[in-house]
Structure formats: C-alpha cells, structure tokens
Structure 1
C-alpha cells in the first residue's frame, strides 16, 4: 500500500484566518423606525369607539365567549379543529418549518461516499484472437466538507427562513381569525333568520285576525268584498317574505357544516331551532390602536417579510467575498492486472476557496434588488397598518350608527304597535274606516320587520369589529405565538 499525501495550501489558510475576523455580511434587522405604526395617531384610542357601546378594556383572546352562548362556543372550537382551510394553513406552516431545518442543515458537516469499479480489456486490431491482459480497477472514496461561513451567508439564510416561517405562522393565525368569525357569523345568521321568521309570523297572525274580522263583517253586511281582498293582500304580502328567511336559515346551517369540515347534509341539527339573537352582556371591549397593531396577524406577517428580506440582503452581500470551507477525503484504489495486485490509499485535508470575482457586477445588482425589496416591504407594512386602522374605524363607526338606527326602529315599532291598537279600537267602534286600520297594521308590520333586520345586522357588525381587531387566533395556552417585535421609534 502506497500512501499519497495532498499538501495544504498555506495561502488559503491565511486568507481563512483573515476573513474569520470579519463581521457578518449585510444589515442586522431592526423594526422600521419611521413606520406608520409608531405614529401617536396609530397607537391611541380609536376615534369611533365613543359612547356607552364601547369599552377601552383589552379585547379577550376568544371574543366569541363574550356572547355567553355554549352552542356558539362549541361550534367555533369544532371549526378551529376541523376546518379544511385551516388544515391547509397548518400544512403550509409545517413546510416552512422544514425549510428552516433545511437551511440550518447547510451549516453542518457534509459527508459523501462514492464507489467505482471498471473492467478494461484491449483487443488487437489485427487479430481478434490476440489480446492484452485485462485490467480491473476499483475505487472507494469518503469525502467531507465543512463550510466556515466566515461572512455569515448561511447564518443570514437561516435568519431569512426563520422569518419566513414566522410570516407563514401569522398567515395561519389570520385563517384562524377568519374561520372563527365566519362560524360566529353563520350561527348568528341562523338565529337571526329564525328571529325574523318569528317576527313575520306574529305580524301575519295579527293580519289574519283582521282578515277574519273583516270576513265576518262582510257576512253581517257591515263590510265589503273590497275590504276583505285588501286584508287578504296584506296577509299574503307578509307571508311572501318567509321563504327568503327559511332559505337564509338553511344556507347558514350548510355553511356551519362546511366550516366544521362536514358535508352540508350533516349540518348541526341542534342549531336549527336557535331563535334568540346572540347578545353581548357588556359594552364591546376594543382596546386601542397599539394593541390592535400587535395583535393583527396580517401586520405581523408584513413585518416578518421585512425581517426575512433584510436577511437576504446579507445572503447576497456575502457573495462579494470568498467562500471558504474545510474539506478532506480518504480514497482507496485497487487495481488487479492479472498479478500482482496493486493497492493504494490517499488522504487529503485543507481549505477550499471559491470566489465569483468575475461576476461582481451581477452580485451588486442582486444586492440592489434585495435592498429595493426591503423598501417595498416597508411600504407594504405601512399600507397594511393603515388599512387595518381604516377598516377598524369603519367597522366601529358602522356598528355605532347601526346601533342608533336599531334603537330608533325599536321606538318606531313600539309606536306603530300603539297606533295599530288604537286603529283597531276606532274601527270596531265605527269611528274610523277600514283603510285606516290596514294602514296602521301595514306600518306595524314594516316597523317590526325592519327592527328585526336591524337587530340581526347589529350582530354582523359586532363580528366585523372583532374581525377587524384581529382577535381569535390564539390557541389554548398560547401566550407567545406570533408576537411581533416591538416597533419603536427610539
């Protein structure tokens, strides 16, 4: 066995030691100081959260529990456990976590094992019967490579992959918010449909009593066929709105089945008879802008995109410098040429250097592109914060105005009920005509239906506020997941 020794390059070793003292390429990430999120107007109380409808108390993690409705709580928890869209988001997060492990693995020792065997036999060109002895050669090699990562290219790559994973995690949390809100909204639509059906049925019952009385008056000679037809028209007009409410109830039940990962035919039967509208037991807790910014997953996702792309600047800048690694190998060589047998073993160890020096302009262009991407990310972060603030203010104001409208419609319905009662008495005593009675009952029907619709819309408005505030993504026992680094103007 004849050993062969590979000499180490002393110049490369000296260069490796010199580069070892250099700092990591690229900028370290810092939250953008001039971001909109740092402005006082973005962090204070919401402009539209005034009046007794709102509270400055912090929004609870599981806001749907404010309705104190066990059926709603159970539906939301079931949806968060079985929703198909949420399962997709969880799978995306698993893939991002795998990418982090892959990036971290590039820092470790790389080992490669190779084997080769060849057989050669030369034949004479003049005579196929005459040949030279055959040669059988085999090689077995083991090599390793350990990157020194002197300029932090691998480190920046790991930082980027971690930030990407956190962005995907925030996107997953946004899906949780949407699923919780959609489930609460579908449940509320079922209850609202039943509530409106009951309201219309009460109106129809009153109108049918008037129709019966009118029919009796006609038979007794005190009424006319025209009065009867008008009373019947009022009844049928009110009944005409019922199929739409039944369809809305069934659509809500089908949606609940889909949200909880079931076929529409397996909708929750226990919810079908819900007739009481979900009601908040206290003023709506909304917190302030700073809490909303920290909580909203889309804002956290946008901020993590800045962090990831900032790290990628360092990845590109590292290509301006040589790439140095420690490499070595063990090679076994065996050659059998009839006899005797020849064997050898070789071993090498030393630094390897690679440098894309002729392409520095290309690297500079990639660095410029990475820096431009960060600028775009910061602008997108500001846009996301502004849109979140605008959407929240709009949702708060819509709820406040619709609440005022519902209260006014409630007073109108009470007044219409009084008028209808008075009109009935006047008609029975012959002091008013039938048309006045029908007008009063028509006004009552319209007021009650409008009030019921306004009350149903209020529940939808409340859910829109909770959705805008970004609550509901936290999992049981989770107090740290998805926390966005503090955005400071220091």
Structure 2
C-alpha cells in the first residue's frame, strides 16, 4: 500500500482495532491520525455531537416522532433482518472450527462383499441374512493454511458491514423524520405569516374603498389593492398542500399508512430552534462516527480475508478422521470385538486439476481487495466533502437569513411611514401599494429562509453521522466472534 493511502485506510481501524492483516488488537495512536480538520464557521462549536442531536431543538413532539420512526420504520426492519441473515452466515463459518460427526444405524437383508469373500475362501455358499449395522464417524479439518480462520473473519466483517449499513439507514431515518417535522412546523408558521399578510391587505383594501368613496383615491387604486390581496391569498392552498405532504411523510417514516396523520404534529405552528451554536466536533470523531466509513472499512477487511481463503485452495486439505462400525446378525452381538471395525488417522486431499481455477480466484480476490480499498478512500473523502459542504451552506444560509430579517424590518418601517404619509396626503395610493407589496414579499422570503436554515441544520447533522450511536452490537455477534460491543 502506498504511503499516501495509509492515513485513509487507518481511519476505520478505530472501529475494528486493525490496520494490518487480521491484527484486531492494534489501536492507533494520535500520531497516526489523518491530518484533516473541519472548517470553523460562525454559530458552530467543537463540542462533541450528542447521540440524539434532534433533542437540541428541545421539542418533545420531535423526540417522540424520531423515536417512533427508529422503532417502527419498515426499511430499518428490513435492514435489521439482513443483519440477522449475515449473522447466521457467521455462525455457519464459525462452526467450521469444530469437527463434524455422523451416526447411523440400519437393519437390512442381504449379503455383502465380506460374506462373499468368506464363502469363496471356504468353498461354501454365501447365504443372505438379516444384519444390524451401526456407524459412527468424526471428521475435523486441520486449518493449516488458514482457510477456515479467513472465512470466519470475512463472515464477521460482512456482518459488521451490514450493521453499519443499518446504522447508516438510522441516520437517514432520523434526519428525514426531523426534516419532515420541521417542514410541518415551518409551513404552519409560513401560513400564519401569509394569513397575517392577507388580513393586512384586506384592511388596506377597506381603507382604500373608503378613500375612493370620499373622492381621495380612484377605482384604479382599488383594483391594484384587490389584485395584490388575491395574489397573496392564492398562496394559502399551496402552503396547506405542502404541509399535508410533510405529514404524510411523517406517517410513512413511522411505519404507518399515509392517512394515519399525527394529530399532535399537525398542530405545530411554531418554528423549533437551537438556541446555542451547533456542536460539530472534529474531523477525527466524524470519521469514527460515520457509518458509511465503517461499512467501507469492514468491506475492505472482508475482501482482504477472502484473498487468504482463495490462497488456501492452492494447498492440500488435511483432515483428521475417526470411524467405528459394527455389523452383526443379532443386535446383542454388535458389541463383540469380532463385529467391530475402526479407523483413525489423517487424510490429505489435493485438487491438482483445479489449481488454475484456484489461481484465478486468488487474482479475483486481490482485484476485489484493490477495489474495496479505492472505495474506502472514496468514502472517507466524500464524508469530509459532505461535511464541509454542509458547513459552508449552513453558514451562507444563516447569513442570508440575518440579512433578510434586517430587510424585513426596514420594509415594515417603510410601510408604516407610507401609511402615515397617505393619511397626511403626502403620497398617493400607488406608493402605499408598493410598500405593501415589498413588505409581503419580504415576510414571505424571511419565512422561507427560516425553513431553509432548519433544513441546512438537519443536513449538517446528517453529514456528521449523528443518530446511530444507540444501536449496540447484537449479543450473538459478540458471542460468536469475540467482537467488542
């Protein structure tokens, strides 16, 4: 392996404890950590990311919905079933360390080769007869070339990769649930803003009509005011539809049909927020935490183990066997020494005609290992890229939201001044209409910015890999492999 690729490969060793072949007891020192750091942006801090990052919003409804989704999501249930399938394969591979035995009993009529041989030797006739036959055998493979051990390592790595895939799905489910709930709340708040704008414009329309009746304003002023009111009101059905769609998504994420809307969540009209800077940790903890990195590292480890499995096929297989058989005309005579036969000793088998196939399998395994290494490097780099992009987009969205808040405040002030000026006769109705249009637009943009900012927060937490830590290694995996939970 090239020196430049060593740091990336060793990232996953914190999860497996290994950077060298089958050396699962090795622990990396601080000097071996890859030299990467996360960018520091405003409103973030280097504190460790909490296990349940959604609790930072301090919203009991959100906590309840995420926990329900993690417990009942059907995709997660399928991922857990896949883990159990691979654990079964691991138990099968681990059973290769133990001998296999066989036990049989039969009662049949006829004559065998021994009877015929005896008849030929004594110049007599071999009569057919009933016989009791019992067999017991033992076979144990001496794993001289590490085939069984490498198979166990590969099966264990496959099971751990499936666990990492499940944990990656947990990260996704937690993020999707949080995002859907935040959309419900943000769209509820957005609808409230739109309704307030409608009420404001309705009040202005009533005033405009009174001023028209008094001869101060014209029919054109009334028509313009009416048009702006209808345009603002027309957005309400779309906002309601988007909110309903988010509620449908929440139901399905929790393993329920879309029609089973969460009534408590449907009443949310307040934007949840995080009052303190976001905890993002450092790059090293990020690389330890991301399940996709763990999955790629375990897949690489399995691929390397399969190289040794393939190489073992180049060498003879050595088995130690034992057998005990008994055959007698009566059941009571089966224990006599004359009725017993036994054999014990090693057996060597070597498949010479298939050595070319074995060499081809070794080359395939080595190519798969190189591919897994490249994939591992790619996943590590993508994890760093995703997090840096999420940090940059969050910082940009936060700055834009702050600018929109200032602009909205100024638009509110401009509208109030225009209305006072209209009452004093200093401006006409068109200037008031322009200030109203600007205020309504700014309020809508600010509400949209609030939603985008929340979504950027969720995207950042997802990139950081939060939400999987509460899943522990199943007992069966630790029992059969010695893995540490």
* TM-score class, shorter: 0.7 to 0.9
| Residue of structure 1 equivalent to 2:458 | 463
Deviates more, 1:308-317 or 1:451-460: 308-317
Is residue 2:420 matched to residue 1:429? no
Q: Distance in 1 between matches of 2:191 and 2:437?
A: 17
Q: Distance in 1 between matches of 2:405 and 2:21?
A: 61
The C-alpha deviation readout for 1:236-283, integer Å capped at 9, x for no partner, is 100111111111111111111111112222221011111111111210
The C-alpha deviation readout for 1:376-414, integer Å capped at 9, x for no partner, is 111100100111111111111011001111111111111
Is residue 2:254 matched to residue 1:274? no
Structure 2 gaps of 5+ residues are 1-19, 112-125, 331-335
The C-alpha deviation readout for 1:45-67, integer Å capped at 9, x for no partner, is x23x322x111111111111111
Secondary structure in 2 matching 1:404: helix
Q: Is the 8 A contact 1:28 1:310 kept in 2?
A: no
Is residue 2:86 matched to residue 1:92? no
Q: Distance in 2 between matches of 1:218 and 1:87?
A: 66
The Cα of 1:322 is off from its aligned counterpart by 1.6
Q: Is the 8 A contact 2:177 2:250 kept in 1?
A: yes
The Cα of 1:345 is off from its aligned counterpart by 2.6
The Cα of 1:220 is off from its aligned counterpart by 2.6
Q: Distance in 2 between matches of 1:331 and 1:298?
A: 55
Q: Is the 8 A contact 2:290 2:464 kept in 1?
A: yes
Q: Distance in 1 between matches of 2:164 and 2:471?
A: 16
Is residue 2:218 matched to residue 1:224? yes
Q: Distance in 2 between matches of 1:210 and 1:166?
A: 65
Is residue 2:357 matched to residue 1:359? no
TM-score by length of structure 1 reads 0.84
Is residue 2:339 matched to residue 1:348? no
The Cα of 1:137 is off from its aligned counterpart by 4.8
143, 153, 173: which one pairs with 2:147?
A: 153
Q: Is the 8 A contact 1:27 1:313 kept in 2?
A: no
| Residue of structure 2 equivalent to 1:83 | 73
| Residue of structure 2 equivalent to 1:58 | 48
Q: Distance in 2 between matches of 1:217 and 1:119?
A: 119
Q: How does 1:125-140 map to 2 (within 5 A)?
A: 135-140=129-134
Cα 1:476–1:112 shift into 2, 3 Å: closer
The C-alpha deviation readout for 1:327-382, integer Å capped at 9, x for no partner, is 1112222459xxxxx98332111111111233333222211221121111111001
| Residue of structure 1 equivalent to 2:93 | 103
Higher relative contact order (CA 8 A, sep 6+): 1
Q: How does 1:155-304 map to 2 (within 5 A)?
A: 155-304=149-298
| Residue of structure 1 equivalent to 2:321 | 327
Q: Is the 8 A contact 1:29 1:311 kept in 2?
A: no
Count residues with an aligned counterpart.
434
Superposition RMSD in Å: 2.6
The C-alpha deviation readout for 1:86-116, integer Å capped at 9, x for no partner, is 1111111111111111111111121122344
Q: Is the 8 A contact 2:167 2:471 kept in 1?
A: no
| Residue of structure 1 equivalent to 2:387 | 392
The Cα of 1:428 is off from its aligned counterpart by 1.6
Q: Is the 8 A contact 2:48 2:281 kept in 1?
A: yes
Q: Is the 8 A contact 1:112 1:142 kept in 2?
A: yes
| Residue of structure 1 equivalent to 2:377 | 382
Q: Distance in 1 between matches of 2:419 and 2:91?
A: 79
Q: Distance in 1 between matches of 2:278 and 2:175?
A: 16
Q: Is the 8 A contact 1:79 1:183 kept in 2?
A: yes
Q: Distance in 1 between matches of 2:389 and 2:21?
A: 38
Q: Is the 8 A contact 1:29 1:310 kept in 2?
A: no
Task: Tell me which protein shows more helix as a share of its residues.
Answer: 2
| Residue of structure 2 equivalent to 1:415 | 410
Structure 1 gaps of 5+ residues are 1-25, 122-131, 337-341, 486-490
Q: Is the 8 A contact 2:319 2:346 kept in 1?
A: yes
Deviates more, 1:456-465 or 1:222-231: 222-231
The C-alpha deviation readout for 1:14-49, integer Å capped at 9, x for no partner, is xxxxxxxxxxxx954689x9xxx9541xx32x23x3
Q: Distance in 2 between matches of 1:133 and 1:154?
A: 48
